[in-house]
């Protein structure tokens, strides 16, 4: 349970930091986006090592890569900037790690699709 709380708190802190810099300067510093990705990968690696279970890293990497590819498509189409792509990859990593922790058990849609549905509702 402590690990789930840590993942959520780190993700919220990094996303709030990115929002602050994005609103002030119009850019997200590399330190924030890369720090987000690195910290989630570090937590996933630690969970895999401590539990002798590679599914934490694998699930996190698969979701992070899928979210990165979607973000890169949006970047290629000219809708998003590079910082947004890296933040979305970090969100994918954290959602993948939370999924490996079985945090999303009572969802109607799979958690990796539910995020995009919620994002579409909030942004419209």
pTM of the full predicted structure? 0.91
CA atoms of 99 and 41, how far apart (whole Å): 14
Instruction: Give 27-83 pLDDT, tens digit per residue.
Output: 999 999 999 999 999 999 999 999 999 999 999 999 999 999 999 999 999 999 999
pLDDT of residue 74: 93
Interior angle at CA 119, CA 3 and CA 27, nearest 5: 85
pLDDT of residue 111: 84
Q: In the structure encoding, which two tokens stand for residue 95, read together?
A: 């959602």
Using the Cα atoms of residue 20, residue 22, residue 24 and residue 27 in order, give the sign of their dihedral: positive
Please determine, for residue 1, whether its predicted confidence score (pLDDT) is greater than 70. Answer: no
| Least confident among 10-14, 62-66, 74-78, 98-102 | 98-102
CA atoms of 14 and 27, how far apart (whole Å): 14
pLDDT of residue 124: 67
């Amino acid at each position: 349970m402590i690990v789930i709380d840590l993942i959520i708190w780190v993700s919220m802190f990094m996303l709030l930091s990115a929002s602050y810099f994005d609103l002030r300067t119009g850019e997200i510093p590399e330190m924030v986006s890369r720090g987000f990705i690195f910290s989630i990968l570090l937590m996933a690696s630690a969970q895999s090592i401590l539990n002798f279970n590679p599914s934490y890293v694998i699930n996190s990497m698969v979701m992070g890569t899928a979210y990165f590819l979607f973000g890169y498509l949006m970047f290629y189409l000219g809708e998003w900037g590079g910082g947004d792509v890296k933040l979305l990859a970090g969100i994918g990593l954290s959602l993948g790690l939370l999924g490996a922790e079985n945090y999303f058990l009572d969802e109607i849609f799979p958690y990796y699709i539910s995020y995009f549905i919620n994002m579409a509702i909030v942004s419209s």
